[in-house]
Structure 1
Amino acid sequence: MADVEPEKKAPTEMDEEISMSRGMRAEVRINFDKCRDMFVFDQMGNKIRFGDIYKKQKTIVVFTRHLLDFVCQEYADDLAIIPLEYLQEVDVRLVIIAPSPHNLIKGFKKVTGLNYTVYCDPNYELFKAMGCVESLVFGKVQESVHVKSGIIMGILRSTWRAMQQESRLRNGDVKQQGGSFILGPGDVLHHAHIDQNATDHAKINDLLTIAGVQNVSFPKDRRVLEL
């Protein structure tokens, strides 16, 4: 006899404001009623409704620092390593949202080798609505498994990369920190990590594990998920 999946109960916590943080930090609450109808921009400048991003499938949404920041770029270097088939096997999507002008997306993807979708929230409205914080605290690069450069070399690389981009554009607020969320399908929050400083981003393999995706070996994080 086939197994019967238990009936799933509809959310009862305010329906429009669901919370389900599984980390050790303070519980994260998302007002989906507000956030789902906010817009981000693709690299062509088209407006994309945030709620449509995670409407049909479970989605790892990574809110980064601005796109010319070396911490953001080196984190994206590791996101680029994730094989697409790992996500497709479990019907999970990966999306990056940055607090930068959309004009920087094309160059950012070229520099990092990232083939996943990148959107921008240049006025930080969605960042703030999702609970992302502002902070000038940088953090310790040695505590991140995704930052490969030291601070001085990283800043020099960021400056050089910025010179290759359209310098007339504002890059984004250096105080704006990001966060990582696992959402969907629909208005469901599976996990949230709010970055408290520049190097406080979630470990990518932690996000993959929570989302049910096979782990990947990164240069500074060589663990793999043994099935």
Structure 2
Amino acid sequence: MAAEHTALPSPELIAKAAALNVFDDSGKEVSFGSIIKDQKTIVVFIRHFFCGVRQQQYVMQLASVRQDALDAANARLVIIGCGDWQPIKNYCETTDFKGPMYADPSRGLYNTFGLVQNLDMTPAGEEKRSYLGRSYIGNVLKSIWQGPLKNPLLVGKQGPVSQNGGDFIFGPGETCTYAWRMRHTEDHVEVEDLMKEAGVAYP
């Protein structure tokens, strides 16, 4: 039996999620069902849009996934954040992520898929993820500069700081073959492992 954080969402939950809307980088509403309808879709739910360099480093790793590798696996890679849509373009510029990115300000999808809230870091004795940097203070300072200081008009639009994300593989259609819910703030699945689950060559 799968652990709670890796349990696949039921068909009923996926159907419920498919009817929910997210926002693209121009503020247009898009149904989640339309995102996963036509092909295998790797969906990464991130923490808030001002989350520090550690989260950004993870998205930078996602940005390094080759488009030809995604095409060969008939897959697409999508990122969803828990804030408003206005920070999306800045976040993409910061991380060099060129794929589709959406915002879920109501956190309807986060709640439907059981993504938890906490501010816990990697527990003692648990191996840290490869994307994590070593300088915590440096990460905090850089995060503050790239977020609220550099973009004061986006303050309040980044999403809740305690909301954790997760990594899923959906589709084609209302199906799910892989689920990983972050148990703490540094718990995204390794990009290499996620791509392997999706059948995408990496690096």
TM-score scaled by structure 2?
A: 0.90
- Do 2:86 and 2:154's aligned partners in 1 also have CA atoms closer than 8 Å? no
> Counterparts of 2:130 and 2:20 in 1: how far apart (Å)?
32
The structure that has the greater radius of gyration is: 1
Which amino acid in structure 2 is aligned with residue 52 of structure 1? S
Cα shift at 1:68:
1.2
8 Å contact from structure 2 (residues 43, 78) kept in 1: yes
Counterpart-to-counterpart distance in 1, 2:172 and 2:65: 21
1:160-186 per-residue CA deviation (whole Å, 9 max, x = no partner) reads: 001112445312111100000000001
- Across the aligned residues of Structure 1 and Structure 2, the Cα RMSD in angstroms comes to 2.0
Distance 1:97 1:168, change over 3 A: closer
Name 2:150's counterpart in structure 1: 164
Amino acid at match of 1:74: Q
| Bigger relative contact order, structure 1 or 2 (CA pairs below 8 A, ≥6 apart) | 2
**Partners of 2:85 and 2:102 within 8 A in 1:** yes
Paired positions, count: 196
CA distance in 1, matches of 2:135, 2:6: 30
Q: Between 94-103 and 147-156, report the one with greater CA deviation.
A: 147-156
Per the alignment, residue 122 of structure 1 pairs with 105
Q: Is the contact between residue 5 and residue 179 of structure 2 (CA under 8 Å) also seen in structure 1?
A: no
Task: Give the 3 Å change call, closer, same or farther, for CA 80–45 of structure 1 in structure 2.
Answer: same
- In structure 2, stretches of 5+ residues that fail to align are none
Q: Greater helix share, 1 or 2?
A: 2
For the 8 Å contact 1:57–1:185, the answer to whether it is kept is yes
Instruction: Structure 1 unaligned segments of length 5 or more: list them.
Output: 1-19, 217-227
1:58 aligns with 2:40: yes
Residue 75 of structure 2 is aligned to residue 89 of structure 1? no
* CA apart distance, 1:150: 2.2
Tell me the alpha carbon deviations over residues 118-166 of structure 1, each in whole angstroms, 9 at most, x when there is no partner: 1001121211111111112122697011122422111111100011124
- Which piece of structure 1 moves more, 50-59 or 72-81? 72-81
The 3-state SS of whatever aligns with 1:103 is: coil
Preserved CA contact (<8 Å) 1:66 1:72: no
Partner residue in 2 for 1:143: 128
Match of 1:186 in 2: 173
Percent identity over the alignment?
Answer: 31
Query: In the alignment, is the contact (CA less than 8 A) between 2:6 and 2:180 conserved in 1?
Result: no
- Return the letter of the residue paired with 2:30: I
Match of 1:109 in 2: 92
| Structure 1 partner of 2:7 | 27
**Once the two structures are superposed, what CA deviation does each residue of 1:50-109 show, in whole Å capped at 9, x if it has no partner?**
011110000100000011112321111111111111101111000000011111011111
Report the CA distance between 1:27 and its aligned residue: 2.3
Asked if the contact 1:101–1:169 (Cα under 8 Å) also holds between the matched residues in 2, the reply is no
Give the conservation status (yes or no) of the 8 Å contact 2:6–2:181. Answer: no
**Matched residue, 1:42:** 24
TM-score by structure 1 length? 0.81
